[in-house]
Structure 1
């Protein structure tokens, strides 16, 4: 499967940084996007030390039109064979709140679903003209469960999951391969905000290896670690009234960004 020149969003830390370091090697160009300029430059420096040519861009995926313009500009300079849409936000209703904040839900929808979906099609349009490419969308196991304290987050990832499965079918005849990656808890700054346990926690490096393997093998969907595949099956087999009764008793909290 294509690797070549690689675009990674969310490359200023966490999974995105680990992916960049795995892909960094002589002869490869990495296009790294992130919101934090200093951390993004730290990632770029580490990748350059490994011999890669690196282009960076400070950008917030909450601005969808700017993100589309940026992809087309960067692809015009560095034709992209692999695009990994890794940037995301994780927020939930605080225990002290009655409902999720409307503005937060809107931002989650833009960053986690709408902009990555639009970027997928923008990248695919360029890739198909060159014979194809690979696009990986980083979702979450939260997409597969009804989380009453995180309807905005889970809903944004569920939308991304359905988009990915549909886009995979639509773009395959054009030589563009789409994969959905749905991790559980990854030990990043985002998950470290969660108050409470993070079962089956994996490192960003472990997550990056799963993602790279999924792209290389053209996997339609990858869920990791394995206990979350079991939980998804259980969720599917549980009658809705029972599932709702169980999930209505689940709660969580999160530290501020």
Structure 2
């Protein structure tokens, strides 16, 4: 869905983290193409400088104003300082936190590696949650703004071979819900996105079947629509919402048996 803005709106300022990845890049291209009447100013953050510049080139070609920042969100303090500096110089209207890392228990290991658990905790939860809190405070003072947190449908399930990934995304989901409630009265919206499998370069490196695989561009369009309508939670595709309820409704012992039978993808 193409987003249209009132004629009296100023050029929108949008931050997208993870813009060097498949979904973040698709979000950047979507907003560059859709906000053509008033224009859009994109701040694109990502770890891979070359891919980031390629995305920026596409967005500039579409007519957007673009700045880029090569930054690893594992440096939480650095990310928060950069966010505060950019927002102070030119306030953001919309912030999409699309960075993240996925991983599973290594073959032969009884549990996931502790260092990997710590790394996923930082990148998948601590950094986006801290950034969301920081920008929500600034937006609340202004009385307007929108925040999108990209989680995962894995947050609905206690996956024994991906405990860190599922757990960090579950924590982000609860944080997003609480933050949304807390800042709604100040004119700030918070949207949680819980996607299933997306056809990205990073996703293709993860072994195993990927049912209901989605194209990044289609997911980006749905996310933009959800942000525009200030939707609280978007689950993609819809069957994953059904699986969420099945997980909740199964008797505990049966649920545990089903989940314990799952093995790491090979």
TM-score scaled by length of structure 2: 0.92
SS at match of 1:208: helix
* 2:240 corresponding residue in structure 1: 228
CA RMSD of aligned residues (A): 1.4
Which whole-Å deviations, capped at 9, do the CAs of 1:97-121 have from their partners, x for residues lacking one? Answer: 2221111111111111111111011
Query: Which 10-residue stretch deviates more, 93-102 or 201-210?
Result: 93-102
**Which shows bigger deviation, 193-202 or 150-159?**
193-202
**1:174 offset after TM fit, Å?**
1.1
* Distance in 2 (alpha carbons) for counterparts of 1:28 and 1:222: 24
**Residues 113, 157 of structure 1: 8 Å contact kept:** yes
1:20 aligned residue: 28
Whole-angstrom CA distance in 1 between matches of 2:238 and 2:155: 16
Q: How far did 1:130 drift?
A: 2.0
Distance across 1 between alignment mates of 2:28 and 2:223: 12
Tell whether 2:86 aligns with 1:78.
no
Q: TM-score, normalised by structure 1?
A: 0.95
Gaps of 5+ in 1: none
Number of residue-to-residue matches in the alignment: 254
Superposed CA deviations along residues 111-155 of structure 1, whole A, max 9, x for unmatched, are 111111110111112212222100000000000001000000000
Q: Which residue of 2 aligns with 1:33?
A: 45
Contact 1:13 1:43 in 2 (8 A): no
1: CA distance, partners of 2:257 / 2:92:
47
**Residue 138 (structure 1) aligns with:** 150
Shift of 1:41: 0.5
Q: Quick one: distance in 2 between partners of 1:109 and 1:95?
A: 21
- Tell whether 2:120 aligns with 1:108: yes
Structure 2 unaligned regions, length at least 5: none
